[in-house]
A and B are shown apart, each in its own frame.
Chain A
């Protein structure tokens, strides 16, 4: 493993005075404004926020697909100037190449780096083995389940040994059980690789369970409303989600997001409606409600 992915403690993401607006016919649409975030080397950081608040925008700017309108994004002090293999990305939509087998998908980044065929085959096999996918190396993505596709997507993004891994609601399309398994797999890989992770999600439980720190964004135009450290010890078990510590964090985050979701919906909800929401939310994630 360590010879495939050489790791020094690096992958320090820094987003400073960041804002981004899209051009549209009605004038510029301010998606994200006045945002500062950072991810320390090896840290797992999540971004949660109401729908349409600019989470994907922020992540795409870190990936290098979008240029900030003001401010800048740096990784290890270097300005981000376009996509690169240093920043691996996993998308919400399935993004495996349908014309490549599972193993060829994983090999792609290594091929781009000019690694000889036999070497990259071996590397891809090792990585697929770690994700429990070796039996599927010759399958085409079409034949895989959603969870497997995203697992291959994560493995593919990690194969080139990026400094940071960016994930945009990668488990959004998966059912609850698969989601839990994927969270475990992601945690395991992250701990093995000591890589920095920036993770976007709708799901508060997911954010708390996975992260060292959670940023909570305001409704559009998005900015950072709060930064919540998650001091839960690792390794984390599914059973922790019932602990009082977890539930307290959850309540805190939930109320922060609720305020913003109401703003995002135009503040139309009455107090009565809110009482209803409050009850509903027990045992459900915010994503189920909004």
Chain B
């Protein structure tokens, strides 16, 4: 909607508002303030429905045009297997297990990565010792670690969690370091003139100043954690949503392939929303 239009309508608001707003005026004001958000929601729903429709048409008519939709399940078939799956304890167990691996691997990465980044950012020598090793290991994709992880860890479960950990660890570490390097020195000086010692400078200046970048790292790390987890489950898993998706392919359960993919998408979306929510809770000064 063009901005001029919005201004024109705002201009037509009576100059003096009634002293006690009626429900009608309140609703109208709420609508004015949230018009942008409402439109985004409406457009979003329409676009998702359009996606479903296109998917439906492509699969019903088994379109072959470079890509072959011959065996691709239709949305209705996927929905049918979804209704079946939610009553199937095995499917739920796949999801619970994947979530648990993410929770453990990602939490460990955050618990190790954030403090390590903070310490490396503050103490040059620690940085000089650890950074080269991190730089050498960082470009290795977590999937390339699968054989090594299987050798390193006694159980399959542990090696999958390890790979999830690795995937999220480096984004978290690097972003924390980046945040530390951008801390405004004037704020450190201001704290020093107010009597802050090393410990409180760390806690009250360096840490909160780095938080926005730490949360960027956590968001990116969560994404990579899912990528790594699914790959690891497909290769070496016995359970988990990645394994479920791969198994569906082996068993020619085409509808389940799409179901697995959608489940992975929803879980990934949900976990990054959780992190964004946590970020808003922890950094109230940044919410607007």
Binding site for B on A (CB under 8 A): 63, 65, 82-85, 87-89, 91, 93, 95-101, 108-109, 112-113, 140, 142, 156-157, 160
Chain A residues closer than 8 Å to B285, beta-carbon distance: 98-101, 140, 142
Contacts of B196 in A (CB 8 A): 108, 112
Q: Chain B residue with minimal CB distance to A113?
A: B195
| Chain A: CB-nearest residue to B287 | A140
B183-194, CB under 8 A of A: which get 1 and which 0? 010110111111
List 14 other contacts, CB 8 Å, given A142-B285, A160-B194: A82-B192, A83-B189, A83-B192, A83-B193, A84-B195, A91-B190, A97-B208, A99-B209, A99-B285, A108-B191, A112-B194, A112-B200, A140-B284, A160-B195
Tell whether B135 is near chain A: CB-to-CB under 8 Å: no
Contact pick for A112, options B195, B283, B284, CB 8 Å: B195
CA A152 to CA B242, docked complex, whole Å: 54
The answer to whether B193 and A87 have CB atoms under 8 Å apart is yes
Q: Is the CB of A99 within 8 A of B211?
A: yes
* B236-288 interface with A by 8 A CB criterion: 283-285
Q: Which residues of chain A are near B200, meaning CB under 8 Å?
A: 112
Bound form: Cα–Cα A142–B284 in Å: 12
- Chain B: which residue is nearest A88 at the CB level? B193
B189 touches A95 (CB 8 A): yes
**B183 CB, min distance to chain A CBs, angstroms:** 11
CA distance A63 to B30 in the complex (A): 51
A98 (CB) vs chain B CBs: closest residue? B285
| A-B CB contact pairs (8 Å), 6 listed | A83-B189, A89-B190, A95-B190, A97-B205, A99-B208, A100-B285
Taking the closest CB of chain B, its distance from the CB of A199, in whole angstroms, is: 16
Closest to A91 in B: B186
C-alpha spacing A176/B194, complex, angstroms = 29
CB-CB under 8 A from B192, the residues of chain A are 65, 82-83
Give Cα A95 to B184, complex, Å.
9
The 8 closest A-B pairs by CB, nearest first: A85-B195, A109-B194, A83-B192, A112-B195, A99-B208, A95-B190, A140-B285, A89-B193
Tell me whether chain A's interface is mostly helix, strand or loop, or mixed: loop
Complex CA gap A91/B189 in Å reads 9
Q: Are B189 and A89 in contact (CB under 8 A)?
A: yes
Min CB distance A111 to B, Å, is 8
Beta-carbon contact of A85 and B208 below 8 Å: no
B187–A63 touching, CB < 8 Å: no
Q: How far is the CA of A61 from the CA of B204 in the complex (A)?
A: 24
CA distance A98 to B197 in the complex (A): 19
- Chain B residues whose CB sits within 8 angstroms of the CB of A157 once the complex forms: 193-194
CA distance A96 to B209 in the complex (A): 12
In the complex, which residues of chain A have a beta carbon less than 8 angstroms from the beta carbon of B283? 99
Find out whether the CB atom of A93 lies under 8 angstroms from the CB atom of B193: no
A65 touches B194 (CB 8 A): no
- Name which of A83, A85, A109, A156 has the most chain B CB atoms within 10 A of its CB: A83
Partner of A97, one of B187, B193, B211, B284: B187
Q: How far, in angstroms, from A136 to B194 measured CA to CA in the complex?
A: 21
Least CB distance, A79 to chain B, in whole angstroms? 17
Cα–Cα, bound, A88→B195 (Å): 9
Tell me, in angstroms, the Cα distance from A93 to B196 when the chains sit together: 20
Contacting residues, chain B, for A83 (C-beta < 8 A): 189, 192-193
In the complex the two chains form, is A85's CB within 8 Å of B186's CB? no
Expressed in whole angstroms, the Cα–Cα distance for A109 and B209 within the complex equals 18
Q: Which of B191, B193, B209, B211 contacts A84 (CB 8 A)?
A: B193
Per a CB cutoff under 8 Å, which of A82, A85, A93, A140 touches B194?
A: A85
B209 and A93 contacting across the interface, CB-CB below 8 Å = no
Q: How far is the CA of A178 from the CA of B186 in the complex (A)?
A: 23
Choose from B184, B194, B208 the contact partner of A156 (Cβ within 8 Å): B194
**B136 CB, nearest partner CB in chain A, Å:** 31
Q: Produce 1/0 per residue, B89-129, CB < 8 A to A.
A: 00000000000000000000000000000000000000000
Contact call B204/A93, Cβ cutoff below 8 A: no
A95 touching B205, Cβ below 8 Å:
no
Contacts A85-B195, A99-B283: A108 and B189 contacting too (C-beta < 8 A)?
A: no
Q: For residue B204, which residues in chain A have a CB less than 8 angstroms away from its CB?
A: 97, 108
| A101 → B minimal CB distance (Å) | 8
- In the complex the two chains form, what is the Cα distance from A84 to B184 in whole Å? 19
Instruction: Give residues 200-215 of B contacting A (CB, 8 Å).
Output: 200, 204-205, 208-209, 211
